[in-house]
Amino acid sequence: MKVLIVGGGGREHAIAYKVSKSSQVEKIYCAPGNAGIAELAECVPIGAMEFEKLADFAEEKGIDLTVVGMDDPLIGGIVDVFRARGLRVFGPDKKAAILEGSKAFSKDLMKKYHIPTAEYEVFTDAEKALKYLETAKMPIVLKASGPALGKGVLICQNLEEAKAGVKEIMLDKQFGDSGDEMVVEQFLTGREVSVLTFVDGKHIKLMSSAQDHKRAKDGDQGLNTGGMGNFSPTPFYTREVDEFCKKYVYQATVDAMEQEGRPFKGVIFFGLILTEDGPKVLEYNARFGDPEAQVVLPRLENDIIDVFNACIDGTLDQIDLKFSDDACVTVILASDGYPEKYEKGFPISGLEKFRGKEDYFVFHSGTKFGENGEVLTNGGRVLAVTARGKNLKEARAKAYEATEWIGFDNKYMRHDIGKAIDEAGEDVNV
C-alpha cells in the first residue's frame, strides 16, 4: 500500500511511525511533513489546506489510503473532496467534523442527547453576552465556538475579566471568525483526562486513556497551549469512570451523530473532566490529540492500517483493539515564549541519540531542514520526547533523562509532566 498522511506535527509523526510498522505498507508520503517525519516518509510540499492539490497528488501517485491528522483540513472538508474523487480517506467528513468545528454545535448535541457536560449559553451578540455575564456565577469559562488551536478558551475569575474576554473573543476577534459565536460555560473543577476512540459511523472502540498538561508552566500555571506533555494510561481514568462513560458518553455520542444525519468515521477525542458529580465532557475533538497520539500510538498493538480500514468500511466491531500494558510519557520541548512570541531557526543537537533505542522516541512537532541538511527549530512546540517504561514512573524518568540529550537555543519544557502520578499510588492500566 501507498499511504499519504496529511499534517506536519508530532501527532502526524506518531501516525507515520505506526503506519511504518505495518507490513501492508510499502511507501509513505506526508504533506507537508517535517524533518523528523522525513526519516519515515517522503515529505511533499503541499499545504494541508490545499485539498484539490492533495487529491491530485493522491491520484497521480496511486495512493491507497490518505490519513488526515490535523483538525483544520477535517473541519474544512478535505474528506468530502477526497471521497467525491473516489479516493480512500480516513477521517470524518465536514458534516461530522463539526463536532470539533463548532463548540455551540457540540454543546447543543450533548444537551439534546443528555450527555453529561457543563451548563452553558451560546451568544452571537456581544451586548447580550455582557448582559448575561453581569448576573452569572464566577469563575466562568468563555469559549470561541470555532477552532482556535486550543487557545480560544478563557477562564474568567470575575466580571471584569469576563468583560475583557468578550472583547477579546467577540469584538477584537483575537481568534478570527471562530469568535463570531461564543459559548459561555459553567466552570468545572476536577482532573482532566483524554480518551481517544476509533469510530466507524456506528461502532466505537476505545484507545488507552491519556492525560494532557495544557498550561505552559509548571504547576498548571501560565497560558493554555496545545499541550506541553502527556502520559498514558492515566491512573485517574478508573474502572468506575470507564463504566460510567461507556454507559452515558461514548456510544451515546456516536448514536447522536448518526441520528443527526452526521455519521462520524475517524477518531473522536473525548476531553473529560472528573468532577465531584461524576465525569463530564469538556470538549470533543475530531482527530487524534497532540501530544496524546505520541503516548497512545506507541502502545497500540494492532496493525493501524487494519483499524483505519475498519473505520472506513464500518467493520470496527470485528477489530479487537489491543494496547500493551506498559506506559508512555512525553515531554514537549518548546521554544521559550510559546504559546506567545518565540524565535525559531535554531539548530537542534542530539537527535541521533534516539536511534536504535526501542523505548525512546523523538517525535518532531515543529522542525525543518536547514540549507545544509541540519535540523532546525521551526515552531512553538519543537519536539515530543517520549519514553516507554514498565510503568508510568519508569517511563517518566526515562522521558526526562532523554530531554537532556537534546540541545537547542531557547529550549523550554515543563518539569512536572506526570507529577500527578506520584499522588495516584498504584498504577491502574485502563
Q: What are the DSSP calls for 298-364, one per residue? A: GGB-S-HHHHHHHHHHT-GGG----B-SSEEEEEEEEETTTTSS-----B-B-GGGGTT-TTEEEEE
Q: Cα(331)–Cα(360) distance, rounded to whole angstroms?
A: 12
Q: Cα(1)–Cα(62) distance, rounded to whole angstroms?
A: 9
Residue closer to ligand GLY by CB (options 33, 289) is 289
Residue closer to ligand GLY by CB (options 70, 327) is 70
Q: Cα(271)–Cα(402) distance, rounded to whole angstroms?
A: 28
For the bound state, the minimum distance from the C-beta of residue 293 to ligand GLY, rounded and expressed in Å, comes to: 8
Question: Which one of the spans 199-207, 284-292, 325-333, 342-350 is the region binding ligand GLY (CB under 6 A)?
Answer: 284-292
Residue closer to ligand GLY by CB (options 212, 260) is 212
Residue closer to ligand GLY by CB (options 73, 150) is 150
Question: Which one of the spans 61-69, 248-256, 285-293, 379-387 is the region binding ligand GLY (CB under 6 A)?
Answer: 285-293
- First-to-last C-alpha distance (Å) of the chain: 33
Q: Where are the alpha helices (DSSP H) in 41-91?
A: 51-61, 71-76, 78-84
Residue closer to ligand GLY by CB (options 289, 418) is 289
Give φ, ψ of 248 to 5 degrees.
-115, -10
Residue closer to ligand GLY by CB (options 64, 212) is 212
For the bound state, the minimum distance from the C-beta of residue 99 to ligand GLY, rounded and expressed in Å, comes to: 13
* Stretch 316-355: interaction string toward ligand GLY, x if CB under 6 A: ----------------------------------------
Considering only 292, 310, 365, 367, the residue that binds ligand GLY (CB under 6 A) is 292
Give the CA distances from residue 74 to residues 60, 91, 265, 315, 429, in Å, rounded to whole numbers and listed in that order: 22, 7, 11, 22, 31
Instruction: Restricting to residues 74-103, name those near ligand GLY by CB under 6 A.
Output: none
Q: Cα(370)–Cα(409) distance, rounded to whole angstroms?
A: 15
Question: Which one of the spans 41-49, 288-296, 313-321, 414-422 is the region binding ligand GLY (CB under 6 A)?
Answer: 288-296
Q: How, if at all, do strands 140-144 and 182-186 pair?
A: antiparallel
Residue closer to ligand GLY by CB (options 29, 338) is 338
Give, as one character, the DSSP assignment of residue 39.
G
- The answer to whether residue 285 forms part of the interface with ligand GLY (CB under 6 A) is yes
Considering only 64, 185, 192, 212, the residue that binds ligand GLY (CB under 6 A) is 212
Q: Which of 357, 360, 288, 366 is nearest to 330 (CA)?
A: 360
Give the CA distances from residue 417 to residues 125, 230, 400, in Å, rounded to whole numbers and listed in that order: 39, 7, 9
Question: Which one of the spans 30-38, 90-98, 179-187, 283-291 is the region binding ligand GLY (CB under 6 A)?
Answer: 283-291
Residue closer to ligand GLY by CB (options 292, 326) is 292
Considering only 227, 235, 298, 418, the residue that binds ligand GLY (CB under 6 A) is 227
Considering only 7, 91, 150, 379, the residue that binds ligand GLY (CB under 6 A) is 150
For the bound state, the minimum distance from the C-beta of residue 229 to ligand GLY, rounded and expressed in Å, comes to: 10
For the bound state, the minimum distance from the C-beta of residue 342 to ligand GLY, rounded and expressed in Å, comes to: 19
Q: Where are the beta strands (DSSP E) in 209-313?
A: 211-212, 215-217, 221-224, 229-232, 265-275, 278-285
- What pairs with residue 221 in β-bridges? 217
Q: How many residues bind ligand GLY (CB under 6 A)?
A: 8
Q: Cα(280)–Cα(45) distance, rounded to whole angstroms?
A: 41
For the bound state, the minimum distance from the C-beta of residue 213 to ligand GLY, rounded and expressed in Å, comes to: 9
- The answer to whether residue 260 forms part of the interface with ligand GLY (CB under 6 A) is no
Question: Which one of the spans 44-52, 260-268, 289-297, 341-349 is the region binding ligand GLY (CB under 6 A)?
Answer: 289-297
Give, as one character, the DSSP assignment of residue 265.
E
Q: Cα(80)–Cα(91) distance, rounded to whole angstroms?
A: 10
The answer to whether 416 touches 358, Cβ cutoff 8 Å, is no
For the bound state, the minimum distance from the C-beta of residue 108 to ligand GLY, rounded and expressed in Å, comes to: 21
Residue closer to ligand GLY by CB (options 55, 146) is 146
- The answer to whether residue 290 forms part of the interface with ligand GLY (CB under 6 A) is yes
The answer to whether 47 touches 68, Cβ cutoff 8 Å, is no
For the bound state, the minimum distance from the C-beta of residue 122 to ligand GLY, rounded and expressed in Å, comes to: 21
Q: Could you list the residues that contact ligand GLY (CB under 6 A)?
A: 150, 212, 226-227, 285, 289-290, 292
